[in-house]
Amino acid sequence: MFMKGYKQMMFWLVGFFITLPLIGILYQIISTKLDQKKYPPPGFIVDIGGYCIHLNCEGLESPTVLLDAGMRSNSLEWSLVQPKIAEFARVCSFDRAGTGWSEKSPLERTSFNIVTELHSALQKANIRGPYIVVGHSFGGLNMHLFAKMYPEEVVGVILVDSASENYDKLLKPNFNLTWMKLSTQFGLSRLLSYFPNARKSLKSFPKLIQDEYLSFDVTTQSMNTAIEEFLLFDQSAQQLRQIGSQFEDIPLTIITARVREFWEGVGFTHEESSKMFNEFETLQTELLSRSNHSKQIFANNSDHMIPRTEPQIIVDAVYEQVQAFQKDHKISIQENGDF
């Protein structure tokens, strides 16, 4: 009798542990599909040869400001920045392939492929230069490379707490990538996103943006893309080193955060965290040498996420470069209002 009850209990336990992951996968797939219908793209979709890139453009012409967000972020990261830039210039944010509203790419997630895809999307959408490129974190490395690959089209560069081609020499956070991937695939990350703490870092955004942002943050595709970008970062840095990192006469603005957080929770001791951030600030200063016309601005009240905490600093830096370009080319800034 005991053995029969024991076997029945084991049968139900095994069934439970087999069924639960299947339920999680199904929940993840269905929820992702529902979110895709619930949140249509704010911009437009460009087919670049079998897969599509999402561009979101608004504002006036000349020059066009391009915005690239950091790793595990998408075009919504610029929600507090883009509308203000649109008051005085044309501005386009975009989703790298595999993030936001953009489809997965068959190419590796290196900076070279990302930049090539962006340029292709811009050309197909007939959004021509001149460009002022703005990149945050990993997006800064991409925009740095964009300026080197298409120097005749770029008239200004703004790097926001950006990675550099030497950033791969720093200690890396010890993320559990397998856990991140599986928890997303089985729907656990999606469930956790409903807890109030998940919105803590997004509190500066309106609720609709928070909802949209979280819906993409927990998709299997977005997580897999972020992991691939992370794993291929050293290769991306090497690509910039190979092409060269000097801008010569292109105006360059470095925006550096001053509030540093310590990462003991991802494999760093307090001392290692402090050392890493000191080295990061040194690399930020080194970026000034990339151009003969460079300046550094400090976001004194911001951690790494400057587009959320002090977006006006970015807007002001863009405005300064737009104004200088338009003055040099005798183009009038928007006449129907003061900035």
Would you put residue 140 in left (φ > 0), alpha (ψ -120 to 50) or beta?
A: alpha
What average pLDDT does the chain have? 86
Tell me the average pLDDT across 29-43.
87
Pseudo-torsion of CA 137, 143, 149, 154, nearest 10°?
-150
CATH number of 39-328: 3.40.50.1820
pLDDT band at 10 (very low <50, low <70, confident <90, very high): low
Average pLDDT estimate for 263-273: 63
**Alpha-carbon distances of 73 from 83, 99, 192, rounded to whole Å:** 18, 8, 18
pLDDT score recorded for residue 333: 46
pTM: 0.88
Residue-wise pLDDT for 198-215, tens only, equals 788 899 999 999 999 989
User: Which whole number is the average pLDDT over 87-99?
Assistant: 96
Sheet-wide strand order for 44-47: 44-47, 52-58, 90-95, 64-68, 131-136, 154-160, 252-257, 294-299
d(CA 202, CA 210) in angstroms, rounded, equals 6
Mean pLDDT, to the nearest integer, of 117-145?
A: 96
What residues are paired with 66 via a beta bridge? 92, 133
Judge whether 133 and 143 are in contact, CB under 8 Å.
Answer: yes
Tokens of 187: 């729907």
Residue 267 has pLDDT above 60, yes or no: no
Q: Give the pLDDT score at 67.
A: 98
pLDDT at residue 266 in the model = 53
% the chain with pLDDT above 70? 86
- Span 312-324, pLDDT tens digits: 999 999 999 999 9
Say which range, 1-5, 63-67, 160-164, has the weakest mean pLDDT. 1-5
Give every CB contact of residue 200 below 8 A, 6+ residues apart in sequence.
none
Instruction: Name residue, tokens 């199904």.
Output: 26
pLDDT above 80: residue 193: no
Q: Please report, rounded to a whole number, the percentage of residues in the chain having pLDDT higher than 90.
A: 56
| pLDDT above 70: residue 268 | no
pLDDT band at 129 (very low <50, low <70, confident <90, very high): confident
Mean pLDDT of 30-54: 91
Euclidean distance between CA atoms 183 and 185, whole angstroms: 6
